[in-house]
Structure 1
């Protein structure tokens, strides 16, 4: 079976692509960035290009049975002053993916949604694209399936330029710096391992269910302070935690925990990795990175003791 993963050179896209390859499928990655640092196998076909290029999408989607649309512009505070590219790619590019998939007769398309509790550029674009997916399902031949992703972590998640919880905490702890936490750190997050996310994504897409958009996480609540403490403990970092004002576009004391009821009804009980073990494996992956990558990250963000 031919499957296409847009954004397949990135963190979650490459994880899904690898899982599809392990299943024996013919995988094509469409991305602006070349395949390389994320561990993606070389037996994936690579097409370099932009999801706003309708002609390229049409060529790439020919004979595909599944399209996983993971390409997008990420960021929270990073997009507050410069929203236009995120609007163009996350909404305009996504609509073009849906249109091209429909024209090419792709049976199954996956689009990742998110729980939209914050008023910022990224969540607005995700909500709009999710609505376009629902509209396309009313008229198009493709079945566009969506899950609402929670806080993914795992090997391969980039250290920069978009600040993510586990990579940022790992880099600071590895250099003996206090881990910077926005707000009082009592925000509740749902940490879901990237390999579990890939498995649930592929399985759900093959149900062709478009009548529900289930939450997709671990269903386990953990505070940001608890994540930071676990990272410090793993690296033996005694510098502790430094609390900072909340970033623009985020809300203090937010509770984000996936309600896995709908997903269980569709897929049965998910096979989830142990959080402590998978977090340790992820942190070990960062520990194996070249020292200059960690130093570059510290310099990029201007972290200091």
Structure 2
């Protein structure tokens, strides 16, 4: 397979995981190349996600690296080949690359856990609510930019529907429910959508009220994409310039798992949360 000039996040992550296996085996890139029967430059290309591999080649490398984690090997083998030409590829020309990477990450995830303090999750937003939020961008988007971002955001929601919808848990602070982007009418419709979506079997919405005394951290919002194995989990943070930051170091993943667990421990249950949302909606 020919090399890839601009690897996606998924391809870079694939290469990075193979590099981790090599390093755990105590091998240098040169030493690994000798054992694999290739040159060192090819190993570097593989580990930066620029050279696609077959599943058999991944299993061969895992054997050379003495990796005995069959679940991890299977998950890496499933990431091989050319990149998926999903709907998000058409947006790479118009939006920051990280946004297309985020849609691809969600497409391949085994589940999502999100935590938000001031916003409704993008995957649960109405079109009117999303438009109202995007119109507050600084600097403001040009009309065509806004429409690209809006259509991209709505298309991302497809992962929550269909024959195999993604398991999805949203932890929302009360402040996010009380923000009235676009005015009371749009806010009311948005809360009604939130209630409707929370009734789906794959979606759990839990609210952290102002009265919670155990809210952890500084209220940072983030998405936690669950991989096919824990080693392939990914945290996504929004950046001030409108892009995405992705974290996958073991210590980082453990930190955000802990934050999510603490947030769940101080959140209302799903039924109580729906009643809480209903009360706010009726007050608008």
TM-score after normalising by structure 1: 0.27
Q: Which has the larger radius of gyration?
A: 2
TM-score after normalising by structure 2: 0.29
